[in-house]
Amino acid sequence: MGSFDSMKNGLRSTRRVLFCYSLGLNKPQRLNRSIDPVGRRAAMADRVTRAIPFRGAMRQFKRHRPGFTCVNPGALRMGCQAGLDSIAIATASNNPLYGSLPMSESPHVGILRAAMELGRELRIDETMSSSYWSFAQDIIRISGDFFGARTDQEVIRVTRNFIDWATGSTGRAVHSGGSSLEDHILVAHIAGSSMFQVVDGHHRVAVEVIHGNAEIRVRRTWLSAEAPRQYSANRRT
22: in domain: no
Strands, E assignment, the chain: 69-71, 76-77, 186-189, 196-200, 216-220
193: in domain: yes
32: in domain: no
Give the total number of structural domains in the chain: 1
Beta strands at 76-77 and 196-200: parallel, antiparallel or unpaired: parallel
pLDDT band at 27 (very low <50, low <70, confident <90, very high): very low
In 3-state terms, what secondary structure has residue 10?
helix
69: in domain: yes
- Each residue's pLDDT tens digit, 135-163: 999 999 999 999 999 999 999 999 999 99
- At 181 the pLDDT is 47
What distances in angstroms separate CA 158 from CA 89, 100, 133, 207, one per listed residue? Answer: 21, 25, 10, 15
pLDDT band at 37 (very low <50, low <70, confident <90, very high): very low
In 3-state terms, what secondary structure has residue 69?
strand
CA dist., res. 81 & res. 13, Å (int): 19
- Nearest CA to 36 among 99, 79, 88? 88
- Each residue's pLDDT tens digit, 41-50: 445 555 555 5
pTM exceeding 0.95? no
Asked if residue 60 has pLDDT above 50, the reply is: yes
What is the extent of the structural domain holding 161?
65-236
